């Protein structure tokens, strides 16, 4: 028979083992225990920041904790991504990024985190297309006309984007690869100077986000050639897609996804997915998403993981084929 000291030691060991085995379940049951930090790797006041703050209102109600939006902009979203990748995997620090999440691994080969291992996907909220626009008096009357002119006169036409490595730049470069055309790229620092030079006649067309050009389209100062998504946009139901205009299988939209650090317990991932899904269906968020041109998809964690991997492979090929370098 054990002596009393040995017995107490043995029982303590059993208790600790049981506690260790139960820790993930206890953590999941108690979650969340403090405010949720939602890292946005873009400056405050931009489209992604607006999406995060609108989503945070409903998410706070779902989780019973405040949502603190933390803008960690810089290095093409790498700074914000790295902040979350190195955070405690307890569900209290999350990342809301765009398709830039899958673009940066090909633009920055030496990342401070392993892009394929550092994150646990939570949800892909939805997708928004970019758009190709011209001046009202442009001789390019349609997307098909643009493609024909680009093939007939390689390099003669010029397009502007919000900068090297941005979604607007890569949408155009994917079109060049897919449609086998050559158009000269003119990079800018943001959307505003692109529109200014397009209106002034310095460039022939622009690839832009919907929110950045919708006021000009609505006022008749710009005309739409096509949208870059797989389907037409509710914001521009009359505008065709490039796929409809003679480039089958072309799709280059912006998606919005939420990620946790790798190692976050599966029950917490599932709980967060449900909370984000319900918060995204609230009327206030749906209106904000619509204003950004976003169509909700609310994909599962597994679907989000597959999409992020496929997108990374797609953009890696475009970056390599077109020798794209970040600003």
pLDDT at residue 85, as a whole number: 98
pLDDT at residue 205, as a whole number: 98
What span, in angstroms and rounded, lies between the C-alpha atoms of 272 and 4?
46
The three-class DSSP label of residue 161 is: strand
pLDDT at residue 16, as a whole number: 40
Using one digit for the tens of pLDDT, what is the confidence trace for 267-286?
A: 999 999 999 999 999 999 99
3-state secondary structure string across 8-67: HHHHHHHHHHHHHHHHHHHHHHHCCCCCEEEEECCCCCCHHHHHHHHHHHHHHHHHCCCE
Residue-wise burial string across 258-287, b where 16 or more C-beta atoms lie within 10 A, e elsewhere: bbbbeebbeebbebbbebbbebbebeebee
What span, in angstroms and rounded, lies between the C-alpha atoms of 134 and 224?
6
CA dihedral for 29, 299, 86, 69, sign (positive or negative)? negative
pTM of the model: 0.88
Q: Which uninterrupted H or E stretch holds 134?
A: strand 119-134
HSE-CB of 63 using CA atoms within 13 angstroms: 32
pLDDT at residue 29, as a whole number: 65
pLDDT at residue 9, as a whole number: 39
What span, in angstroms and rounded, lies between the C-alpha atoms of 259 and 128?
19
Residue ranges in the chain whose pLDDT is less than 50: 1-26
| CA proximity to 172, closest of 326, 315, 308 | 315
pLDDT at residue 109, as a whole number: 84
HSE-CB of 205 using CA atoms within 13 angstroms: 27
Tokens standing for residue 120: 């646990």
pLDDT at residue 28, as a whole number: 55
């Amino acid at each position: 028979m054990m002596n009393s000291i040995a017995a107490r030691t043995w029982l303590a060991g059993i208790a600790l083992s049981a506690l260790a085995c139960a820790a993930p379940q206890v953590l999941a049951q108690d979650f969340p225990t403090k405010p949720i930090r939602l890292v946005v790797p873009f400056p405050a006041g931009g489209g992604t920041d607006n999406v995060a703050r609108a989503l945070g209102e409903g998410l706070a109600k779902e989780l019973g904790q405040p949502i603190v939006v933390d803008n960690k902009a810089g290095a093409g979203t790498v700074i914000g991504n790295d902040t979350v990748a190195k955070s405690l995997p307890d569900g209290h620090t999350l990342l809301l990024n765009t398709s830039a999440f899958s673009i940066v691994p090909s633009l920055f080969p030496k990342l401070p985190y392993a892009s394929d291992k550092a994150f646990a996907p939570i949800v892909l909220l939805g997708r928004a297309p970019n758009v190709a626009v011209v001046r009202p008096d442009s001789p390019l009357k349609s997307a098909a006309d643009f493609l024909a002119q680009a093939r007939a006169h390689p390099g003669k036409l010029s397009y502007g984007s919000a900068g090297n490595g941005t979604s607007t730049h890569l949408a155009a470069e994917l079109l060049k690869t897919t449609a086998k055309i050559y158009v000269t790229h003119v990079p800018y620092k943001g959307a505003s100077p692109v529109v200014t030079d397009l209106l002034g006649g310095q460039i022939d067309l622009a690839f832009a986000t919907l929110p950045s050009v919708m006021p000009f389209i609505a006022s008749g100062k710009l005309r739409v050639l096509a949208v870059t998504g797989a389907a037409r946009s509710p914001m521009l139901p009359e505008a065709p897609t490039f796929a409809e205009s003679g480039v089958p299988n072309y799709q280059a939209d912006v998606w919005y996804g939420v990620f946790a650090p790798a190692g976050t317990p599966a029950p917490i991932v599932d709980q967060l997915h449900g909370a984000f899904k319900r918060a995204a269906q609230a009327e206030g968020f749906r209106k904000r998403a619509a204003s950004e041109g976003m169509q909700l998809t609310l994909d599962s964690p597994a679907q989000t993981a597959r999409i992020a991997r496929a997108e990374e492979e797609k953009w890696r090929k475009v970056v390599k084929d077109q020798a794209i370098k970040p600003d």
